[in-house]
C-alpha cells in the first residue's frame, strides 16, 4: 500500500491548523510541504517560519520539498524549523552532493528531486547517499496540473537500480496524483505519493486518501 502525503499547497493558507489536523485525522501517512522561491519556479509559497509554526501542531512526518535556487543556503533553517526530510532539486544547485550531505549532517533525511525533463542517469551517482528520490510527475510550481505518464519509466528505472545495487531509498511521486494515476506508479515501485488537489479538493478527504490506499493494496 502506498503512503499518502497530502500537500498543504492545496490547503487554505489562513487555516493551516484546521487543514493539517483534518488530513492527520483522515489517514494521511505524512505531510508534504511545498516551498517555492519565485526563482527556481514561477510561484512563491512560504518559508521556514511557516514550517516552524506547523511543527508543534502535528505529529505527521514533515516531508519538505524545496523548489528553491541554491537550496544549500537554507538547509539549516529548515532543519531547525522541524523538517523530518528535506528534498532538493538536482537542477537547482551546482553542488547537489554537498547539499545532500548538509541535510544528513543536520540530522534530517535527504531527498533528491528530478524535474520531468531530467533523466534518472543524472542522479545515479547520488543514489547511495539519499533516503528518498522524488520523481516529479508535473513541472513544479503549481498544484492541480495533469499527471505526466511518461514519468513512470523513470520510477521503474530507479526501482531496477535499487534492486541491482541493494540501495535503500523510498521513491516518491508528486504532481497530478490521484487514485487512478497512482496505480501504475505503485506497480513501477513508487512508495510515497503526494496528493494536493485530489485530497484537499475532495468533498470527503478521508475517502480520497482511502481510495489511494485501496488502489495500491
Ligand atoms: O510540488 C508540487 C507542485 O510543484 C506539489 O506538491 C504538487 O503539485 C501537488 O499538487 P497536485 O497533487 O494538485 O498536483
Ligand atoms: Fe511538492
Give the Å distances, CA to CA, from 93 to 34, 62, 71, 72. Answer: 18, 23, 7, 8
User: How many domains in the chain?
Assistant: 1
Say what the pLDDT of residue 192 is.
99
Catalytic residue among 19, 63, 131, 174: 174
Best residue among 6, 34, 115, 151 to mutate for probing ligand 1, ranked by most atoms within 8 Å of CB: 34
CATH of the domain at 54: 3.20.20.70
Active site residue 166: no
Ligand nearest to the CA of 137: 1
The verdict on the CB of residue 198 being under 6 Å from ligand 1 is yes
Say what the pLDDT of residue 190 is.
99
Say what the pLDDT of residue 63 is.
99
Lay out the sheet containing 192-195: strands in order across: 3-6, 192-195, 170-174, 132-136, 109-114, 85-89, 61-67, 30-36
Q: What is the pLDDT of residues 42-56, one digit of tens each?
A: 999 999 999 999 999
Rounded CA-CA distance 182/179 in Å is 6
Say what the pLDDT of residue 86 is.
99
The verdict on the CB of residue 131 being under 6 Å from ligand 1 is no
Domain ranges, residue 94 = 3-215
Active site residue 174: yes
Which ipTM value was assigned to this complex?
0.98
Say what the pLDDT of residue 84 is.
99
Spans in the chain with pLDDT lower than 70? none
Query: Does pTM surpass 0.95?
Result: yes
Catalytic residue among 19, 34, 37, 179: 34
Amino acid at each position: 500500500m502506498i503512503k499518502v502525503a497530502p500537500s498543504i499547497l492545496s490547503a487554505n493558507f489562513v487555516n493551516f491548523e484546521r487543514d493539517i489536523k483534518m488530513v492527520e485525522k483522515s489517514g494521511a501517512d505524512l505531510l508534504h510541504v511545498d516551498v517555492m522561491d519565485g526563482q527556481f519556479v514561477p510561484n512563491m509559497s512560504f518559508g521556514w517560519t511557516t514550517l516552524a509554526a506547523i511543527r508543534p501542531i502535528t505529529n505527521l512526518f514533515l516531508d519538505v520539498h524545496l523548489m528553491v535556487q541554491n537550496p544549500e543556503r537554507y538547509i539549516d533553517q529548515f532543519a531547525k524549523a522541524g523538517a523530518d526530510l528535506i528534498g532538493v532539486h538536482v537542477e537547482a544547485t551546482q553542488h547537489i552532493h554537498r547539499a545532500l550531505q548538509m541535510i544528513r549532517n543536520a540530522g534530517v533525511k535527504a531527498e533528491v528531486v528530478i524535474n520531468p525533463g531530467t533523466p534518472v542517469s543524472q542522479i545515479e551517482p547520488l543514489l547511495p547517499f539519499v533516503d528518498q528520490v522524488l520523481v516529479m510527475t508535473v513541472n513544479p510550481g503549481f498544484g492541480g496540473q495533469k499527471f505526466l505518464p511518461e514519468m513512470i519509466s523513470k520510477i521503474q528505472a530507479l526501482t531496477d537500480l535499487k534492486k541491482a545495487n541493494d540501495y535503500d531509498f523510498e521513491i516518491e511521486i508528486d504532481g497530478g496524483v490521484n487514485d487512478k494515476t497512482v496505480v501504475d506508479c505503485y506497480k513501477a515501485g513508487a512508495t510515497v505519493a503526494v496528493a494536493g488537489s485530489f485530497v484537499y479538493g475532495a468533498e470527503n478527504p478521508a475517502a480520497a486518501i482511502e481510495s489511494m490506499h485501496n488502489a495500491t493494496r
